[in-house]
Amino acid sequence: MALPQTKLDATEARIAVLDMPRGGWSTTARTAALARLREMGLPGRRDEYWRFTRPDTLVQPEPPAAALFDPRETAAFDAIDKLKIVFVDGVFDAEASDDLTLEGVTIERLAEASSDLHWAASLYGQLEIRGQAAVPRPLAALNTAFATDGLLIHVTGKPSKPISISYRHASETSDAILHHVVKVDAGAEATILENGPAAARFNKCMEVDVADGAKLHHVRTQGRDHERRAATHVFARLGAESVFKSFTLTANGALTRNEVVIELTGDDALVHVAGACVGDGDFLHDDTVFITHDAVNCESRQVFKKVLRNGATGVFQGKILVKAGAQKTDGYQISQSLLLDEDSQFLAKPELEIYADDVACSHGSTSGAIDEEALFYLRSRGVPEPQAVNLLTLAFLAEAVAEIEDERLAEEITTRIEEWLIRHRS
């Protein structure tokens, strides 16, 4: 079907200001992605998949300016022993980064990998294509075509510390596009951390291939800059008996759309995707998750909690697709929002599509204000109202934070939430 003219124009206008990096093994994938993008067109306000989130500012050629946040703030995961890799406005910062060598993993940069035969070539843009099957995700295709850099992480063993990617934001008008590829070999295990606001506008894609019996933990915090915008995608394919756990904390930001697309292709695999977000004022946070069960006896879990105040908007679109034959599937999904005042809103579409009869899938979605009775209980025991509200808010988010396996990381996330609550006390 031909695209509407406005969509064609918007897509071409965006492409016109971008340069496709040429040469090297990724060229074929990039060219194909550009063709794909032109076919789909960039998202528009009338697209069903963008029903709750206006994509305009993610699509327009130049990003709206975004002021920088307090630079004195300590970055998340600061105290944790890690291999640190830093990007400033999407540009690799060698000075600030550690040496990229670590036992059990090889790390290269997309911008530097130019040999014709690279392991990442079989994955780059390929998992993204698979993720396009059910719903078009044009911003991901744009990313594949135009990513300026990114990391190619090949986990072959069990690295002793997490690989941490820090995204710093220094320019008020930066527009960053990064694309990572992560391959975890059979039986290998790693943790990837991400933190920081990245840029005025950030388009990030991460393709993850978790082989049989492998494990990948992913914990990220998205920076607190009030005006930043981000569209991120995680595309993950899981082999038999593999584990992938991903948690995201989002604090502020004018617009964040996090898409997570998971394919369970091997039997007995397990995936947990969780998110906590806290938003104050001009804030829209959108979690869009699509989990496909295409193997027997897999488990998927989605836990998303949102705390919203002063007109903030929370969006959740989650889907569990159980293909014919994916028997003994255990799919669980919960999305909840806590609206701290009258102006905030929660928009959700928790979806199930099931073609197998011997499965247990459930989903729940709730929205409401803080529990008056619980508040009264705390007040009657002498806890002042602001603290009581914070306590209850923290308790509300705890279910999502509990999805993080590593206790130190969970603590780190809790600290971040506490800081936010103190700063944004009513």
Partner 1 sequence: MAALDQTQVKEGVDQETVDAVREVSTYKYGWNTEIEMEYAPKGLTPDIVRLISDRNEEPEWMTEWRLAAYERWLTKKEPDWAMVDYPEIDFQDQYYYARPKSMIEKPKSLDDVDPKLLATYEKLGIPLKEQMILAGVEGAEGAPAEGRKVAVDAVFDSVSVGTTFQAELKKAGVIFCSISDAIREHPELVRKYLGTVVPVSDNFYATLNSAVFSDGSFVYVPPGVRCPMELSTYFRINAENTGQFERTLIIADKGSYVSYLEGCTAPMRETSQLHAAVVEIIVEEDAEVKYSTVQNWYPGDENGKGGIYNFVTKRADCRGDRAKVMWTQVETGSAVTWKYPSCILRGDESQGEFYSIAITNHHQQADTGTKMIHLGKNTRSRIVSKGISAGQAQNTYRGLVSMHPKARNSRNYTQCDSLLIGDRCGAHTVPYIEVRNNSSRVEHEATTSKVDDDQMFYCRQRGMDEEEAVALIVNGFAKEVLQALPMEFALEAQQLVAISLEGSVG
- Residues at the interface with partner 1 (CB under 8 A): 48, 51-52, 324-325, 327, 337, 339-369
Nearer to partner 1, 195 or 313 (CB): 313
**Among 142, 134, 135, 139, residue whose Cα is nearest residue 56:** 139
Least distance in angstroms from the C-beta of 23 to partner 1: 43
The Cα-based distances of 78 to 101, 116, 193, 380 in angstroms read 20, 37, 11, 38
Least distance in angstroms from the C-beta of 250 to partner 1: 19
Least distance in angstroms from the C-beta of 270 to partner 1: 19
Instruction: Say if CB 232 and CB 179 are below 8 A apart.
Output: no
Least distance in angstroms from the C-beta of 288 to partner 1: 14
66 φψ region: left (φ > 0), alpha (ψ -120 to 50), beta (else) = beta
Nearer to partner 1, 40 or 113 (CB): 40
Least distance in angstroms from the C-beta of 299 to partner 1: 14
Residue 21 to residue 145: CA distance in whole angstroms: 8
Nearer to partner 1, 222 or 367 (CB): 367
- 316: Cβ–Cβ under 8 A, 6 or more apart, which residues? 286, 287, 288, 304, 306, 335, 337, 346, 347, 348, 349, 350, 365
Instruction: Say if CB 140 and CB 235 are below 8 A apart.
Output: yes
Least distance in angstroms from the C-beta of 357 to partner 1: 4
Nearer to partner 1, 25 or 332 (CB): 332
Residue 419 Cα to chain centre, angstroms: 22
Least distance in angstroms from the C-beta of 323 to partner 1: 10
Nearer to partner 1, 68 or 352 (CB): 352
Nearer to partner 1, 203 or 367 (CB): 367
- 94: Cβ–Cβ under 8 A, 6 or more apart, which residues? none
Instruction: Say if CB 240 and CB 270 are below 8 A apart.
Output: no
Nearer to partner 1, 355 or 377 (CB): 355
Nearer to partner 1, 187 or 311 (CB): 311
β-pair type (105-109, 101-102):
antiparallel
Least distance in angstroms from the C-beta of 320 to partner 1: 9
Nearer to partner 1, 172 or 351 (CB): 351
Residue 360, amino acid:
A
Least distance in angstroms from the C-beta of 192 to partner 1: 31
